[in-house]
Chain A
Amino acid sequence: MSELLLEARSISKSFPGVQALKDVDLRLHRGEVLAVVGENGAGKSTLMKILGGVYTADAGSILLDRRPVVVSDVDHAQRLGIALIHQELNLAENLDVAANIFLGREPTWGGPLRLIRRRIRHDAKPIMDRLGLDCSPSKLVSDLSIGRQQLVEIARALSLKTRILIMDEPTSSLTQRETERLYQVIRDLKRDGISVLYISHRLKEVEAIADRVVVLRDGRNAGELKAGEINHAAMVRLMVGRELTKFFQRTRGAPGKRVLDVHELAWSGKTGPSINFTLRAGEIVGLAGLVGAGRTELAETIFGVRKRIAGSIHIDGAPLRIRRPKDAIRAGIFLVPEDRRTQGLVLAESVRDNLSLPSLDRLQWLRLVARKREKQLADAQVKQLNVRTPSIRQTVGLLSGGNQQKVILGKWLARGPRVLILDEPTRGVDVGAKTEIYSLMDQLAANGLAILMISSDLEEILGMSDRVLVMHEGRLAGELPRERMNEERIMHLATGGAFK
């Protein structure tokens, strides 16, 4: 093994409400391609951002060339030779390739501007050749394909004399051919002694390119795989495997008749074959998959937020024309969105106003708000859901995440849903509120509601779902009934695997 270049020891980092990393170690050697894998929320991005200077660790140390360093900011990281390429590329689209490569470090000697531009273009050429970036240095970045744009980012990193290149989900927007070219570029960089830290959900790619794999789970080290040990199954086994805590109730009985039918559904920008599935009364169906798999898009299409370009949606067998949320709501389909702050609540308004908002057409008299009935509704929901708030007049933005989530649920429950779609219902919610929400979901299902629960938390999926649908890159990769549900199978489907 070549020499040790970078070592991270006992890195810990927490954000309000969540411990993102705890005592994480990482070792990177010169000229090595090290893949970092893990589920959503395992801490991969956080760790890379710490190494890249975007965040600072709360605890732990980083050693570069066996000497301790504190990476204070991105600029410092770049000077140390560490460059982070984000999943969303950070290029100035209106400038050309050469300008982007030298952005912020343009040569500033005297002479007219034109001369400097020529110099920039001249200096950019060798770097571009090294990467096989065969366009002209004066080509506008916005005219390039994503694959080429990515190479521009790498070129920028190289011009900074980078020794450690960190790439976060580099192939999520690339075609197969561009991905192959990226592999070649990485192999060439390896040969030149540059190390690559590669984060990806696409385990097949990791198999193809990585020398070693580090697996994170719940913010901690879960294991390492050396060359020869790297395969899909081994990675998945390390990525999952926690104990399930027993805090999921099940009082509901067997599911009843079909409530929601989705036939051949597709939305604009969707890849892969169309989606078909059914929801029955009284069941909780989990919808699992990795970030970007299309789960939220599916929910948004059913709810009418996103434009449906194919397929149909039926309630109780009757087809629906859903063109906007109002139509879905009228049919009894409600969505608790992923981002409660920007989509689920009007933060500046009170608990009462938020709870009554979708039901105002039923709380009116001659189109004037029926204040007394509104207060009754608000009080009832606060009581039923145990929303912790000093009063219903409290600004909802001041409540905790869990209570905010309850307000969103409450506003829908006041209207009597038939189908409830929950997108990450317990994200950023404390344990106490989580249990309450789970118990509520169970109760609702027992009362005949059909629930579709999108979640990235496998524990939650396994604990709450009667069956699970798994999405992968815009299509339904598979369905698992409760008896066959386990983490490995779900992750297998979510990462592109299949079952005979």
Chain B
Amino acid sequence: MKKFIGLFCFLLIIYGVLMTSQVVGMVNKQREAGASSIDWARIEKAVIDNNYNLLERVGLNGIVCLGAAILIISGGIDLSIGSVVGLSATLLAMLLRNEDYGWHPVPAILVVLLMGSLIGLINGLLVTKVRVQAFVVTLCGLFVFRGAARWVARDNVKGLGVQYDGLTEVLYKSESLGLPRSVIYFLVLAIIAAVFLHLSIYGRYLYAIGNNERAARYSGIATDRYKLVAYVICSTLAALYGVLYLMKHNSAQPSSDGNFLELYAIAGAVLGGCSLRGGEGNILGVFIGTAILILLPNLTNMIGIPSSLEYTVIGGALLLGAILDEVLRRFGTVQK
């Protein structure tokens, strides 16, 4: 509990500093340009735009962080998320393009999502039935699916051109209630995930499996089945990200789309309180973790740290979080 309050405060602080530095920066720039009075309207618009932009990215990234979190809570891991994203975006682009297959969007999107689920099923079966380590299985997936994406597209960039501008508008680029589409999707999914994890019996099973798989099995839980479900969920959400990614960028680059995304997904989950040991984490934490991961680079940029250090800052935050977590845990037991 304390951990989440701490994380949330950290997020608020980052957000606060970010907003402040943006405003202050703009004010200073105006002053330097010799303005006599501050153009608040312009500053307001810039802040709102930045917020919107950040929110859109949090919503989008949140989707894979959700999937990763659910899987990590159950004790699993998926390193192939990024490659599944690349494959999904590429495949969807090819299915939609008139130059390639020219399918109707609805079946195209469904097929891509189904493929994601299938990949999750394969991952899960390899882990539970063949008993290969999850790290190894999904690491192989990382390579295999990336290669598949590149091969399917013959290493070409697949652009949608203007054919689907209406679709991308509807599915991704427009807003409702002042919120970007990705946030709506994320909220809906987060609520479903929260009900699943925190209110349903399946969530209880997943936490038990993540905490102590043996004891869960000894208690009569079909551990293999539920672990499988977690893998399917993670990969399906990765495929969904791929679909939305294509809608956002209007084109798919099979060799690079989604690169490193699994690391961000895992980092978001871990920053939000999931332990890689399994059995720990919650949905609110996923949101916080994702937000911190998006805001932090933006913040460092704003306050003048060179963007080349972006990765370092993220890594540093992750490490700090892990150390604090361990310290809190030790301190907790000692106190007792």
Contact = CB atoms under 8 A, between A and B. Distances in A.
The reply to whether chain A is a binding partner of chain B is yes
Interface of A: 303, 305, 324-326, 328-330, 335, 337, 342-349, 353, 356-358, 360-361, 363-364, 367-369, 398, 411
Contact of B201 (A305, A343, A361): A361
A301 to B, nearest CB: 14
Given A325-B217, A347-B212, 9 more contacts: A303-B218, A305-B217, A326-B220, A326-B222, A335-B218, A344-B215, A346-B215, A346-B216, A368-B199
A84 to B, nearest CB: 31
Contact of B218 (A305, A356, A361): A305
Contacts of A363: 201
A67 B205 CA distance: 60
Most buried by B among A303, A342, A357: A357
B250 interface: no
Contacts of B200: 364, 367-369
A343 B215 CA distance: 4
Contacts of A357: 204, 208, 216, 219, 221
Contacts of A328: 220
A323 B217 CA distance: 12
Contacts of A337: 218
Interface of B: 195, 199-202, 204-205, 207-208, 211-212, 214-222, 279-280, 336
Given A347-B211, A347-B212, A353 B204 contact: yes
20 contacts: A325-B218, A325-B219, A325-B220, A326-B220, A326-B221, A329-B219, A329-B220, A342-B215, A343-B214, A345-B212, A346-B215, A347-B212, A349-B207, A353-B208, A357-B208, A357-B216, A357-B221, A367-B201, A369-B200, A398-B336
Classify the secondary structure of A's interface with B: helix
A347 B280 CA distance: 13
Nearest to A347: B212
Most buried by A among B204, B211, B217: B204
B211 A349 contact: yes
B212 A368 contact: no
A353 B336 CA distance: 21
A325 B336 CA distance: 35
A393 to B, nearest CB: 12
B214 A349 contact: no
Contacts of B220: 325-326, 328-330, 358
Nearest to A337: B218
Closest 4 CB pairs between A and B? Answer: A329-B220, A360-B201, A358-B219, A346-B212
Classify the secondary structure of B's interface with A: helix
Nearest to B220: A329
Contacts of B222: 324, 326
A370 to B, nearest CB: 9
A492 to B, nearest CB: 34
A321 to B, nearest CB: 15
A326 B219 CA distance: 8
A328 B218 CA distance: 10
Nearest to B203: A369
Contacts of A364: 200-201
A369 B216 contact: no
Contacts of B214: 342-343
A348 B215 CA distance: 12
A340 to B, nearest CB: 9
Contacts of B280: 348
A303 B201 CA distance: 23
A356 B200 CA distance: 13
Contacts of A356: 204
Contacts of A325: 217-220
A53 B61 CA distance: 55
Contacts of B204: 353, 356-357, 360, 369
A98 B201 CA distance: 56
Most buried by B among A330, A349, A364: A349
A343 B221 contact: no
A342 B199 CA distance: 26
B28 to A, nearest CB: 50
B212 A360 contact: no
A233 to B, nearest CB: 40
B331 to A, nearest CB: 15
Contacts of B221: 326, 357-358
Given A367-B202, A368-B199, A368-B200, A346 B211 contact: yes
B114 to A, nearest CB: 24
Contacts of A349: 207-208, 211, 279
Contacts of B219: 325, 329, 357-358, 411
A346 to B, nearest CB: 5
A405 B104 CA distance: 60
Contacts of A326: 220-222
A364 B216 CA distance: 18
Contacts of B217: 305, 324-325
B201 A368 contact: yes
A368 B215 contact: no
Contacts of A353: 204, 208
Nearest to A371: B199
Nearest to B207: A349
Contacts of B195: 368
A343 to B, nearest CB: 5
B164 to A, nearest CB: 38
Nearest to B278: A348
A150 to B, nearest CB: 31
Most buried by A among B201, B211, B212, B214: B201
B42 to A, nearest CB: 50
B268 to A, nearest CB: 22
A303 B336 CA distance: 37
A422 B217 CA distance: 17
A337 B217 CA distance: 12
A364 B195 CA distance: 13
A330 B221 CA distance: 11
B211 A344 contact: no
B229 to A, nearest CB: 13
A335 B217 CA distance: 11
B215 A360 contact: no
Contacts of A335: 218
Contact of B212 (A324, A342, A369, A398): A342
Contacts of A368: 195, 199-201
